[in-house]
Amino acid sequence: NAGVTQTPKFQVLKTGQSMTLQCAQDMNHNSMYWYRQDPGMGLRLIYYSASEGTTDKGEVPNGYNVSRLNKREFSLRLESAAPSQTSVYFCASSPEGRMNTEAFFGQGTRLTVV
């Protein structure tokens, strides 16, 4: 009963390095999301994919790119990491992109940029 799986769980990057955070869900959900969690700010939406083949910017998209590889997978890429991107990143999925639908979250990736 995996749900939403994120890899890696922890990562340390140097400023300027790139990396891709992976996310996969096995619940046949249509919609997927990437959030970042920072102290005192709750979670903020980076990008989302309402359905396979579509992606859209959220509240804080600068410095990130995403790919909805297929219905299961939604990756987040940092092309040139900056210390301001130190955060905990959560991937989530939802059966359908409606405002009353529950989201299911992965366990998070703790990223530190030095």
Partner 1 sequence: GDSVTQMEGPVTLSEEAFLTINCTYTATGYPSLFWYVQYPGEGLQLLLKATKADDKGSNKGFEATYRKETTSFHLEKGSVQVSDSAVYFCALGNSWGKLQFGAGTQVVVTP
Residue 2 touches partner 1, criterion: CB under 8 A: no
Nearer to partner 1, 19 or 103 (CB): 103
* Nearest to partner 1 of 26, 56 (CB atom): 56
The answer to the question of residue 11 lying near partner 1 (CB under 8 A) is: no
| Total of residues contacting partner 1 (CB under 8 A) | 30
In terms of phi and psi (left: phi > 0; alpha: psi -120 to 50; beta: otherwise), the region of 46 is alpha
Question: Judged by CB under 8 A, does residue 64 bind partner 1?
Answer: no
Q: By CB under 8 A, is residue 25 in contact with partner 1?
A: no
Question: Minimum distance from CB of 16 to partner 1 (Å)?
Answer: 29
Binding to partner 1 by residue 90, rule CB under 8 A?
yes
With vertex at residue 41, the alpha carbon angle to CA 35 and CA 60, rounded to the nearest 5 degrees, is: 45
57 Cβ contact partners less than 8 Å away, ≥ 6 residues apart: 47
- Cα separation, 3 vs 92, in Å, equals 10
One of 23, 25, 34, 48 touching partner 1 (CB under 8 A): 48
Among 43, 60, 78, 111, binds partner 1 (CB under 8 A): 43
